[in-house]
Structures are given as structure tokens and as C-alpha cells.
Chains A and B, each alone.
Chain A
Amino acid sequence: MAVTEAQTTSSAPSPRPPRRQVDPRYALGRTVKYLVLFFFLVVVLIPVYVLVVTSFKGSGDATAARAWSLPTVWVLDNWGEAWTTLAPAIGRSVMLAVPASIISSILGSMNGFVLSRWRFRGADVVFTLILFGMFIPYQAVMIPLLQLVLGIGLPSGVPTLIMLHVIYGIPITTLIFRNYYESVPIELIEAGRVDGAGMLRAYWSIVLPLSIPSFVVVLIWQFTSIWNDFLFAVFFSSSQNGPVTLALNNLANGSILANYGASMAGALLASAPTMLVYILLGKYFIGGLMSGSVKG
């Protein structure tokens, strides 16, 4: 995003007539544009309004007629209930997402370095085969994976989920690091080579320190997708030892008469970490999204 920011300013001399020239058609167009943009802003924020408002409503307020109104009395009961139910699962999600993102980033960095610098015959084929792992529907490996995990007696829950997220994170982390290392000037590494550094040495003392920005992007990407994962969670953990997505889904779908207030407070709690990452590190978050789109 930093790049686009810079380009916005550089493209400031707009091709359209300068604003001082009074052109009523242009002014009308501008107004319509802002109205449209604002309309969609409201539309996008509607679910947030509902989440926040409902999470503070007491049971008397949660009637159909008052569905869209503000609470008559703001109560914290829903938040208390959601916190009691979800806190252990939030803890498990932290224990899962933090190590899994770190390990998969390290693996991705090693692969990305090798694949960007080591031009052996068939390197493109190897890379494409790894990349395909990013797109496969996990449904196509789930049954044997389940049999394997049960067969070798891995514990259900966090440790197994860490392993799976590390393995299935290899394709995307490799891709992002490879694209990054392709842009690192080869002279830097060659210079190290001349000074007698082997490949491992060059990786450790030259490439790794250069990779910090890329690590930030990959860590954020992995943290977000692991935190938000539900598929592996539902196959390889239970509500007693699973991450927060699973616990939240059980909370929301658990009772016959779902308690919307508590569910919505829970949804906000479960989204807080990734939202925080998005707000604090937005530009790196977008960097991850962009790399995830495989632009070759």
C-alpha cells in the first residue's frame, strides 16, 4: 500500500479539469460519487451495528419489534457469558496460531530462498507442484488425514492443529517469500559468496536480516488464516480442546433458542485479535492479501 500511496500523490495533477473551474456537471458527479461511497460504507457497517447493539441488549430488548433499536438499558451480561464460555478457547487459539505461524514462516523462508536462487532443471515444476497445494480443497485429503492422525495416535486439539497448519501453510508462505527474494538484488548474495560464505551462511547472515518485512507480512497472513480456520478445527478437535472458531460456533448453534446477545458478544471477542492486527498493521495485512492472489 505504501507504493500506491506514493503513486496517488505523484498522480496529483489530475487529468480532469482543475476544481477551480466551475463545472456544474463535474460538481454533481462528485456529489453522486460521495453519496454512493457513503451508502456502501453504511451497508458494510450494518452487521457491525447489529453485533455491537445486540451484544449489549438484555433479554427484554431482544424482541422482533425492537430488533434494530438501541438497547433500552445497556447490559454487560452477554459479554460476561461470552467471556466465560470462550476464554479457554481464546487461550487455545493463541497457543495454536502463534507457534504455527512462526514455524510455517521459517519453513516458507527457507523454501522461498532456495527456489528463488537455485535454478536447477525442473525448479518451476517443483514450485508449481508446491503451489497447487495452496489451492487443493482440503476435503480431498481429510479422510486419509483423519485415519493417519487417529492411526498414529496424535492427540486431538492444539498440537495436531499446529502440525497441520504448518504443513498446509508451506505453499502460501513459500510463494510469498519466493516472490520477495526474487526482488532482492542477486549482487548482495554474490558479494557474500565472494567473501567465502556458503549458501547456508549467506542465508543466515545476509538473507534473513533482509527478510524482516516479508516475515511481518507472512506472519500476519498466517496468524489471520490460522486464527480464522474452522475446517481443520472441526475435524481435528472437540469443543473441549478446540480453537475459538469451534467454541464460538458451538455457542451460537448450541441451544435451540439461540442467545443472540451472547453469540454476538462472542463473535466480537473472537474477532478482536485479527481486527487488532488489521487496524495496527493494515498495510502489511494488505501486502499478504496481495501476495496471496498469485500474480506470478
Chain B
Amino acid sequence: MLRDIRRWGPPLLLISPSLILVGIFVYGLIAINTYTSMTDMHTAAQTTGKAPVSFVGLQNYWELLASDSFQHSLKNLALYTIVFLSGALVFGFMWAWLLDRPVKYEGVFRSIYLFPMAVSFIASGVVWRWLLNSNVDDKATGLNRLFQIVGLNFLQNGWWNNVNVGITAIAIPAIWQLAGYIMALFLAGFRGIPQELREAARVDGVSEFQLYRLVVFPQLTPILLSAVIVIGHMSLKVFDLIMSISKPANYQTKVPAIDMFVFKSQYDYANSAAVGVILLVIVAVLIVPYLVHVARSGRR
């Protein structure tokens, strides 16, 4: 008995505060949130307990998913994720590939490509709001004005003011901020491939193209997976950038995280909670298989 306490006591003492906090604030609150999403708590009086709240099951979900407005948010989220993810991966990989072979001033290029990562979305949103200004021709500022100056007038457009694809304009600053991070990941991946492996393949008479296909790319697959996971889950939670570039009330750029905030501001806690659960489900579908994979490979 005493031996058990001596053995189990200290580690439990160190870790239990965190376990309790994570248990309550992550899993406990997710449970309460799920319950709230299944009630009819749609008014301020109900949130303060002055009016009764009743259980309505999945009704909020059916109504949300059936509404044009929320479908628009989901479509926006999908578009944003596709553009952000592919953009960050393409530029990040290209920069890493270019910097992998010895390059003069490598440190300068690397540091400058990476620096936007240190800046908040709110701060970068200030300048991108100006760059993505939708005015054209005489009134054009930002990128539209730059296109005029360099004679690419046809590239002028309304950026995020376009109802159908405006959200993809918001992905541009996101790519600007995160491509350098993907570069850093891939660069570490390239450098992690033993030089002897490449040499050996070359001695075997493998062409440069085959070298990449057979040796380099397979080694980079875990990096690609991490990159997709990190960018993907960031993308699903996009909020700050839209708040600072567009406005929460703008239909063109709304996504679920924005809906959640707007519902909350209207004291519609039930719908707000439901949007949160929907986001959680989307993230879980992406993350849980990955975490299981990581846990399994970690045990080996």
C-alpha cells in the first residue's frame, strides 16, 4: 500500500492538475456544448435563465444544414481550405526545393519567407484589407492599383466582394503567412534524407526524376501529412483573418466560425453551439485517424 503511494503518488501529483483541467475544459465543455446545441436556447432571456429551455434533439442541426446561409458558409469553408492548402503546399514545397541545394544567402531567403508566421492575422489583416481593396480604375488602391501600374489591368477584380469565390481572396494572405512554415517543414525533410541514400541511387544509375520519385518523395510523405494536418485544421478554424479583412456581417466571406460568433452575439446560444459541434466533427474526421496513426507509430 505504502509502496503503491510512493510509486504512483508523485507522477499523479504532477500530472493530475492538467488532466483535470483538460478533462473539464475540453471534454466536459464539449459535452455541455453538445447538449446546448440540442436545446431551443435562441433568446437572451433563455441564456440568463429567465425563460425556460427545452430539449429539441437534432432540430437545430437540420435547420442549419438546410439553410442557404449556412450552406454558403460551408461552401466558403471548402473553397478557402482548397486554395489555402494547395497554395501553402505549392509555394512552401517550391521554396524548400529551391533552397535545398546550396544557395548563397540561404539564411536571408529562409528568414524572410518565414517571417510572416510571427505576425498575428489581425495585424496582417490591416495591410491585406488595403491590398485587397475592391475599388477599380480611378479609385483603385492596393493590388488593383499595382496591376494598373504594371499594365495588367485585366487582373483587377473585386477580391473578397465577389459572392461566389470572394472567400478565395482571403486565402491569399493566409498563404502569405503560412507558406514559409511549410517551407521550413519540407526543408527539414529534405535535409533529413541521408546524402548516402541519394549517392547510392545515383550509383545505381537512377535518373534525377526517378531519384525524386523513388527516394525523395517517399521520405517526405510524413512531412506532407503533417503539413496537410496543420494547414487543414487551421483552415477549418479561420476566423481572425476574416474579422480583420472583411466584417463578420459580410455574406460574401462568412464561414462557420464567423456564424458561430454572430449567433453568439445575437444570444442564439443553441445555434452557436451547433455550429461549434459541426466544426468539431469536421476537424475530428481529419485529426482522429492522424492521432491514432501517430500514437501507433510512437509505440514502436
Whether A41 contacts B22 in the complex (CB less than 8 A), given A248-B123, A249-B122, comes out as no
Bound together, the chains give a CA A128 to CA B22 distance in angstroms of 12
A47 in contact (CB, < 8 A): yes
Bound together, the chains give a CA A115 to CA B227 distance in angstroms of 25
The count of chain A contact residues (Cβ–Cβ below 8 Å) is 103
Whether A124 contacts B118 in the complex (CB less than 8 A), given A50-B130, A50-B131, A143-B264, comes out as no
Mark B81-117 against chain A: 1 for CB-CB distance below 8 A, else 0.
Answer: 0000000000100010011011100100101111111
Please give, as numbers and ranges, the residues of chain B lying within 8 Å of A78 by CB-CB distance: none
Whether A110 contacts B191 in the complex (CB less than 8 A), given A141-B26, A245-B120, comes out as no
Inter-chain contact B244/A41, CB cutoff 8 Å: no
State how many angstroms separate the Cβ of A231 from the closest Cβ of chain B: 6
Please give, as numbers and ranges, the residues of chain A lying within 8 Å of B229 by CB-CB distance: 293-294
A162 in contact (CB, < 8 A): no
B239 in contact (CB, < 8 A): yes
Bound together, the chains give a CA A39 to CA B244 distance in angstroms of 28
A203 in contact (CB, < 8 A): yes
Please give, as numbers and ranges, the residues of chain B lying within 8 Å of A142 by CB-CB distance: 33, 260, 264, 272, 276
Whether A7 contacts B149 in the complex (CB less than 8 A), given A15-B198, A40-B95, A234-B243, comes out as no
Comparing A152-160, A211-219, A272-280, the segment that makes contact with chain B is: A272-280
A227 in contact (CB, < 8 A): yes
B interface residues (Cβ-Cβ under 8 A, vs A): 6, 10-11, 13-15, 17-19, 21-22, 25-27, 29-30, 32-33, 36, 47, 91, 95, 98-99, 101-103, 106, 109, 111-131, 135, 138-142, 145-146, 149, 176, 180-181, 184-185, 187-188, 191, 195, 198-199, 202, 222-223, 226-227, 229-230, 233, 236-237, 239-240, 243-244, 247, 256-257, 260-261, 264, 269, 272-273, 275-277, 279-280, 283, 287-288, 291-292, 294-295, 297-299
Inter-chain contact A110/B22, CB cutoff 8 Å: no
Bound together, the chains give a CA A127 to CA B299 distance in angstroms of 12
Please give, as numbers and ranges, the residues of chain A lying within 8 Å of B273 by CB-CB distance: 143-144
Please give, as numbers and ranges, the residues of chain A lying within 8 Å of B260 by CB-CB distance: 139, 142
Q: Number of A-B pairs whose CB atoms are under 8 Å?
A: 277
Inter-chain contact B176/A135, CB cutoff 8 Å: no
Main secondary structure of the interface of B (DSSP, over half): helix
Bound together, the chains give a CA A3 to CA B192 distance in angstroms of 10
Mark A269-296 against chain B: 1 for CB-CB distance below 8 A, else 0.
Answer: 0110011011000100110011011111
